[in-house]
Amino acid sequence: MKILVGSKNPVKIDAAKEAFSQYFSDVEVEGIDVDSSVPEQPLDEETFEGSEYRAMILKKLNEKANIGASFFVGIEGGAINIYSKWFAFGAVCIIDQSGKIGFGTSPMFELWQEAVEDILNGVELGDVMAKITGDSEVKRKGGAVGFLTKGVVERKDLTDVPTNPTGDGTLTIRVRGDYCCYGGSGSYSEAIGVVVEGTSIGAWLPGADCDYYLLTKTYTVTQEQLRGWASDGKVEVTLVQGAALYPADEGTVPNHVNCLCSGYFYGPYEGGCPAAECGNINIVTLEYEGTNKSKALPMNWIMKKFGLGNKDRE
């Protein structure tokens, strides 16, 4: 399926490809520079007019040149006045071969006073940001929102549809301390058991080095695991320090640990270690701080926290 986007901006092209790939297979996206018929910095309804005009021009080009595209996408960045404040946002218009038209918008973010003064004088927001950042290509990268959020949210994120990501994610554990020298230097190797929402995802045997270096271990996690873990709006990760327990085949990789509390072995952590009294247990809770009435973690937040992305599409 071929999709035409009314811009050569890679941010807009990539966003359109990711969105359509959620619903169709074999998506091919081509960007074509077309006029928007509105000022360089559109305001209010001009933003919607610009996105519609771009999509309409693409449809006409498709018919004239017999390109064979199925959808035509116009994406226009603009500013809108709501509640006596100015917000930056993107308007999206999609037209199909039959001429059906649909509109949508990206999330909005408020503009600061100096930026508002510039855009009301006709200066494009991209030029405002280029002056601030010293990067003339900023609008083709993270954009204003990327700069303001220090990369947590970038321009492409505003038009992404991150509800059905593909590929596995990762959970990275970093530890530092005397986690591997019970009974004297090198005489007994302890392990770190990693338990997420009450379920062990395996143990980690750092080795016999007792120095206080920061060591890192990364586990692969699936979409199904993440959705299950995040169903209550948070993800609880428990790290348990103790003696390594191996599977029945006596392999070299432990599958969980005995909880080691005050010198006594209480058995596998999942079996009931007195966590409140144990100094060898660390619990880390990843909690979404935004507004979320459903209590389920937003998938774009999960994707960023766990590195979950469209890896099998790359």
Reported as a single tens digit per residue, the pLDDT across 202-240 is 777 665 444 555 667 787 877 777 767 766 666 777 777
Element (H, E) at 111: none
Q: At 239, is the secondary structure helix, strand, or coil?
A: strand
**119 and 195 co-located in one domain:** no
**186 and 288 co-located in one domain:** yes
Which amino acid, 304? Answer: K
| Boundaries of domain holding 131 | 2-159
Q: How far apart, in whole angstroms, are the C-alpha atoms of residue 226 and residue 296? A: 11
Backbone angles phi, psi at 100, to 5 degrees: -65, 140
Q: How far apart, in whole angstroms, are the C-alpha atoms of residue 54 and residue 60? A: 10
In a domain, 94, yes or no: yes
**134 and 206 co-located in one domain:** no
Which of 243-247, 296-300, 308-312 is the least confident region?
A: 308-312
**151 and 181 co-located in one domain:** no
- Pair 59, 84: CB distance under 8 Å: no
Q: What is the dihedral of CA 228, 231, 234, 238, to 10 degrees?
A: -30
Q: How far apart, in whole angstroms, are the C-alpha atoms of residue 306 and residue 222? A: 10
Whether 163 has a pLDDT exceeding 50, the answer reads: no
More confident residue, 144 or 101: 101
